[in-house]
Structure 1
Amino acid sequence: MDIITTTGLSSAPVELVERKGAGHPDTLADGVAEAVSRAYSHYCRDRFGAILHHNTDKTALLGGSSTVRFGHGEMTAPIIVMVNGRMSYRFGDERIPVEDIVTRAAREYLADALPLLDAGMWVDVRTRLTQASSPGAVDGKAAEADAARQRWFAPRSLDDLAERRRMFANDTSAGVGYAPLGIAEDLALGVENHLSGEAFQKEHPYYGTDIKIMVVRNGRQVHLTACVPQIARRTPDLDTYVARRAQVRRFIEEQAARIAPDFRVTVAVNTRDDDKRPELYLTATGSSIESGDEGVVGRGNRANGLISMLRPWSAEGVSGKNPVYHVGKLYNLAAAEVAKRLHASCGQPVAVALVSQSGRDLHDPWQAIVQSAGREPLPNAVVRETVTEVMEGLDGLREDLLAGKVATA
């Protein structure tokens, strides 16, 4: 592992941060992809003793349609879930019930994320899964050897899983993380988590969870715009809608005062509303996925739950990637952990990039790049020790991913 350390990182006077909430179509797509990967991983490990090769990180949702009016909201066409990617359908002579695993996982996830959605009726799951190997499968006698590339998605036994011999990076890619969060990031996360949280939703069941937060900070002046849906069947008239829009603005202002007491925060809510027409953010299920909007893995929040436009970032869609050796998942999460630990030890803002090299030992990144805010770069020895500790803990990270304890969007 090559170590590159540098200085020059500073706390920016300006922040631009977005968070797509729990019910946003892109967040739902990430959630479905990760739920399918978890379900498939559990099935394979329980049945065969290992997680077979798969990736569902190209999953997309196509919005259904609905009709809403005050006091009434209903679905009229289903949401289409397109689970795209690759997945092993067989292990030796045993066929894996992939369609059942995928369909059940997708519907259960959406039913939990959108309790007002009848997922059995209004979620149409379609799989687009292949078993073609990545480049490297060369015809000839090598195809009959153990762990041959041709057996990547059709293993005859556990001996055909190359990663059981040597855990290696599947791609040349980079994972990025940083610490600490800025005040705009704290606001975006804190406000959305509060509005989508179980306690708030129980107390205010007329708000949906397809919430989007955009925060712009310039020095100590912060502008926050929120889009917050209301549930049609629980909103009897325009006056109620308008009153609740004002109410949620007050809730956001209260949260902002708690999170950022030393900043001047102005809040706007549902700025597209036209009360006279009326055209309002009124929904049947609490999400725009019910009315034609689309969701795609990787278009929404990064692995830390934010879209921070002025921060270092990776374009990788983390959700749905194989948790065993896909660096697009593991290195992004590991880089964030390295940054967190380095920041805790040095007290300075830190940004970290871990760069993989396809085929290289997974636990030994090709490059580790660390930028800090101090006058002197962080010592290479400290960086190496921290990165090594985090990479040696990948088994624990995998277990947390399989248990659903680690967010990927």
Structure 2
Amino acid sequence: MEVITTTGLTAASALLGVEVVERKGAGHPDTLADGVAEAISRAYSRYCLDEFGAILHHNTDKTSLLGGAADVSFGHGELTAPVQVLVNGRITAALGDHAIPVADIVTTAARDYLASALPLLDVERWMEVRPRLTQASSPGAVTGPDAAEREASRQRWFSPRTLDDLAERHRMFSNDSSAGVAYWPLGIAEQLALGIEGHLTSEAFRAEHPYYGTDIKLMVVRHGPRVQLTACVPQIARETPDLDTYVARRTQARDLITELASRIAPEHHVTVWLNTRDNDSRPELYLTATGSSIESGDEGVVGRGNRANGLISMLRPWSAEGVSGKNPVYHVGKLYNLAAAEAARRLHEETGLDCAVVLVSQSGRDLTDPWQAIVQASGANAIGAARVRRMVADVMDDLGTLREQLLDGKLATA
């Protein structure tokens, strides 16, 4: 592992003079796509562990959602066309003669996730799951007279005869040349985006305010102590009897966000705009049957929304990898982004400096030995290479714990 350390880069600092931060909420179609893909990977992994004691090769990180159609009016909201879940990817369908009920696993995981995320969506009636899965290997499987006899080769990547055909059981290596990127601590705008959306989509808030949906989107711009925040907050049609009620609750939501912002960032002046595309005279409003625009033609795609830390921070370092749905065993697009986050947090705790960490993989290299580790810190002096090397090694040695958190659903990927 080559270690590179630098200092003075403003992007590594939570004290940036300007922040531009977006958060797509729990009910946003892109966030839902991430959640479905990760739920399927988690369910498939659990099945494999229970049946075989090992996770077989799979990736569902190309999953997408196609929106349905809905009829909404004051006091009424229902779907008229189903949401479609396109599960695109590759999943091992059998271990030797043991067939895996892939279609059942995929369909059940997708339905269970969306039923939990959107309780007003009747997933039995208004959701279609369309698995589009293959077992084709990535490039590298070269045929020849002895190909059938090779152990743990590309020929057996998605058609293993036994667990011995899983190459990672012989040597755990990086599946790709990629990079994981993270930083710590969060800036004020980032704290606002996460804190406000998390509160408005929490179970407690939804129980108290059943007329708000969860397809909430926040865009936060901070310039010094001045913060400007635009929020989109849907309302549930059947809980909203008329325009006056909608307008009153829109005002209520803006006041709630303003009050939350004052608690999260008491030393900043926050101005809040809400549902800025509403046109009350027509009316054209953010009124929904289920609380999400996925009901009415919007689409969601894995990796198009929040990064692994739940944010889209325009002026910070970040990776374009879609983390959700990737195999938690060896996919560096997932593991290195999450490991970089842990390394950045630990380095900040040790040094007090604001840190950005980039872990670069090299396809075929030992998974726990990144090709490059780059750390940018906010202090006058760069963090010593020996400290970085030790910290990254410690985090890599703890990948097993990270995987357990993923399988238990305790570690967010979007």
Instruction: Tell me whether the two structures share a fold, i.e. TM-score over 0.5.
Output: yes
2:222 is aligned to 217
Q: Residue 253 of structure 1 contacts residue 265 of structure 1 at CA under 8 Å; is this kept in 2?
A: yes
TM-score, L = length of structure 1: 0.99
- Determine the structure 2 residue equivalent to 1:37: 41
Match of 1:17 in 2: 21
1:394 is matched with which residue: 390, 395, 399?
399
Three-state SS of the structure 1 residue aligned to 2:21 is strand
The CA distance in 1 between the partners of 2:113 and 2:126, in whole Å, is: 13
Residue matched to 1:273: 278
Whether the 8 Å contact between 1:9 and 1:350 is mirrored in structure 2 is: no
Normalising by structure 2, we get a TM-score of: 0.98
Aligned to 1:258: 263
SS at structure 1 position matched to 2:89: strand
CA distance in 2 between counterparts of 1:222 and 1:391 reads 38
Pairing 1:98–2:98 present? no
The unaligned stretches of length 5 or more in structure 1 are none
Give the whole-Å Cα distance in 1 for the aligned partners of 2:289 and 2:305.
23
Per-residue deviation, 1:48: 1.0
Shift of 1:143: 3.8
The alignment-based identity, stated in percent, is 74
d(CA) in 2 for partners of 1:375, 1:398: 36
* Distance (whole Å) between structure 1 residues aligned to residue 69 and residue 147 of structure 2: 51
Q: Answer yes or no: is the 8 Å Cα contact 1:9–1:373 preserved in 2.
A: yes
1:95 deviates by 1.2
Backbone CA RMSD of aligned residues: 0.6
Matches within 5 A, 1:238-387: 238-387=243-392
Segment of structure 1 superposing worse, 138-147 or 338-347:
138-147
Give secondary structure in 2 for the equivalent of 1:332.
helix
Runs of 4+ in 1 over 3 A off after TM superposition: none
Pick aligned residue for 2:149 from 144, 147, 158: 144
Partners of 2:21 and 2:249 in 1: CA distance: 25
**For 2:8 and 2:132, how far apart are their aligned partners in 1?**
46
Provide the secondary structure at the position in 1 that maps to 2:383.
Answer: coil
**1:108 has 2:112 as partner:** yes
SS in 2 for 1:119: coil
Partner of 1:168: 173
Q: Take 2:184 and 2:310, find their aligned partners in 1: how far apart are those partners? A: 14
Corresponding residue number in structure 2 for 1:233: 238
1:59 aligns with 2:63: yes
C-alpha distance in 1 between matches for 2:72 and 2:351: 54
CA distance in structure 2 between the partners assigned to 1:380 and 1:346 by the alignment: 13
**In 1: Cα distance, 2:96 partner to 2:147 partner:** 18
Separation in structure 2 between the aligned mates of residue 148 and residue 407 of structure 1, nearest angstrom: 32
Cα distance in 2, alignment partners of residues 348 and 45 from structure 1: 40
Counterpart amino acid of residue 2 in structure 1? E
The one-letter code matched in structure 2 to 1:369 is I
Q: Does the residue aligned with 1:360 lie in a helix, a strand or coil? A: coil
The number of equivalent residue pairs is 409
The CA distance in 2 between the partners of 1:20 and 1:158, in whole Å, is: 40
